[in-house]
Structure 1
Amino acid sequence: MLLRRGHFPVPRPFVAGLEEAPGSVVGVGPGFDEALYGREVTALTGGGAFAEVVIAPAARTLDAEGLDPCAAAALRRATPTAYDLIHTVTRVRPGDRFLVYAAAGGVGSVAAQFAAPPEPAGSSAWSARSAWSGTPNVPPTPPGSAATR
């Protein structure tokens, strides 16, 4: 909304979509395998991800065959961030108890999945979110409780 109202000046023409661009490969550059045509991928772009066609370096493209576009887009940002938080920043170990706050969001919902047993084995994961999240992968909070596993 702020962009549409002119609060953030952008060069024109402008195509929205900051980073994650899921879709099918429709062309490859020189030196790349033409068998990639038609493969489902997700790419990290510098902008314009909502365009009909996006050009992205192969190094910033991941295979997303069989994933729906929303899950594919999450691979580029939420998944690595969540993995890093659980395994590098907090270093969750077997037997640890911890809370994943805002578990209905992109990073939170993936972090709750990484943190729950069996990875790391024996840990106890709790997640907190609002009463209704609209996120199908996060279980509803039981009545009378503020957290759910």
Structure 2
Amino acid sequence: MSDQAAKLRKQLLEDENNHRAKTISVVSGKGGVGKSNISINLSIELLKLGKKVLLIDMDFGMGNVDVLLGLQAKRTIVDLFQHYDTFQEIIEIGPHHLAYISGGSGLTNIFSIKQDRLDFFFEQFEQAVTEYDYIFFDIGAGLQKQICRLYLQQTSVLL
């Protein structure tokens, strides 16, 4: 009779070697309900537990993660989509060593995201999921159709 737990031990070892971050989107159809506060506080609590966390503010028009952290980001997620800046170039470090990407505030022109730019985002994201334990998407209200598709493709849990 073979060891029944052998397969489980093998799978556990494979899972450890193929580490991928858990991705969580914080979503609501209405603005001002506390999505950013929830994202920030959950991220910081996970950091306190020794987890590596990346928080991405995906609100292109009214991003406020950096403001709530009391910081001013040099670059935003818009720089990735418009100028092909990498995650490493746009990640900022906040309290408790929280890695975050700002969404930018006061952006008045909503831009259309072309497939090559989405592909670039996915390349950057694929690298990030091997470097972090959790990746939070703080999603703005009033999503564009393309952005909605992006979240659904890359997110394992929707709140």
Q: Work out which of the two has the higher radius of gyration on C-alpha atoms and give 1 or 2.
A: 1
Higher helix share goes to which structure?
A: 2
- Give the TM-score normalised by structure 2: 0.23
- Give the TM-score normalised by structure 1: 0.24
